[in-house]
Structure 1
Amino acid sequence: MTKNENRGTAERTPFEQVRRGILRALYEGRYVPGQRLAAPDLMRDFDVGRGTVREVLQRLASTGVVTIAANRGAQVRRLTRDEVSGILDVVEVLLGLAARGACGAMRDADVREGLERRYSVMSSCAPATEFHRFVEAREDFYRYLVASPGNAELQRVFPAIQVQIMRVQLRAFDRAADSTDLSDYVDLFAAILSDDPSRAESAGRAHVRRTLDRVLSLPDRAFEPGGGALVERPLR
């Protein structure tokens, strides 16, 4: 860790340390959908008080990362079929927009080289035997793709953590939401480099629809039952 990274970590508030720690654990699969987030455990793990934990969990509930229910406390959100469909409907539009913007950004040689390098790393992975390496490379590719147009609002509203919850929840079902077929990325990458923004947007949307088709064909046991409404209650 560099001196600047050390300073940045030290300057984070307890709230940010806990919030970022929980989100990182979700990305790394240490917390999984349906898992209870007990306040005493979080207080111990992050060396913070109950008030900080309560504030963080309320914030995460407001953004759809956790649910808070009477007599059960907070737990990582499990998604219904309708919620998964809704998330992917939003991602389809936003990834299409990102691909359109990225297409224009490819006129900058440095930006183009950055995407090409990330695509090359991802393409060199064998998802069946190097799944964790593939996941890291894929996330790096997506992050760069969404960031490359320079649209801060797009980056802000992109539901990355909800997508991660969906992927972890459905991983036991042949990794249906993980897009492990590398051929899924060929058309998307070629379209972004094509200097045709409309083609790039169409390819971005088609890329997400392929995942949606796989996910919606899963059995009901892959999803949380019910209508999908979030229940939010104050923690005591």
Structure 2
Amino acid sequence: MSDPKPPGPIDPWGPLRLATTARIGLGRRGDAMPLQSVLEFQAAHAKARDAVHAPLDVEALAAALGGHEVLTLASEAPDRATYLRRPDLGRRLSPTSIETLANAETGFDIAFVVADGLSATAVAQNAAPLLHAAVRRLGDLRIAPVVVATQARVALGDDVGAALGARLVAVLIGERPGLSVAESLGIYLTFDPLRGRRDSERNCISNVHSLGGLSYEQAADKLAWLVREALKRGVTGVALKEDEGATRIDGASAPVLE
């Protein structure tokens, strides 16, 4: 009988790879990275670029938001190329959109703005189920028609919230794609939305997606807690800190209104 084959070298990075999607301990082949690692990196990079440049299918999103009145608006950026070069234009509503909101009903507790941001892919995959989950927890509030905004940045929600007379605005927006995930959605909550609000006046819930990120139910729990605390205290941002009621570390869920 032949001698048993000696064990191969121990990979010290193996346990860490199970705990993160980051690219660690890739190894090398000669002076370069292994071919498989190079191909995986190139595929992730292409996916991220596609997420940035892909247009949002507004009709499909509106259909997925069934049960909610939807207003379709746009920023001052006329196209994707301009949007990427001129962030300032993505923060302001187009003249046509301003006219649309001028004829809309006003006076709401909260307005939801679904914005394509830097990943229309994230919005297409995650915005509708997240919004449905949030509304189930906030159904006792006066909720404005859902706004779907294209070529939009976070601050566009300030214009929308002000025009609708909303006490709060929650912007669901595609986050900048990374090389680990290109489908991550963020939520930005602002009390008393007005043009010129600073980022420090907003609360952010990030990394919402179905591929290992924050789940829709977890994100909706966090958002519902923040919304009710913001309405009670009259603040968001650095003045409103999350505590156990927001993170729900005991596994409990916020009340869901059927």
- Higher RCO (CA 8 Å, separation ≥ 6 residues): 1
On whether the aligned pair clears a TM of 0.5, the verdict is no
Structure with max Cα Rg: 2
> Quick check: which one's strand share is greater?
2
TM-score (norm 1): 0.26
> Quick check: which one's helix share is greater?
1
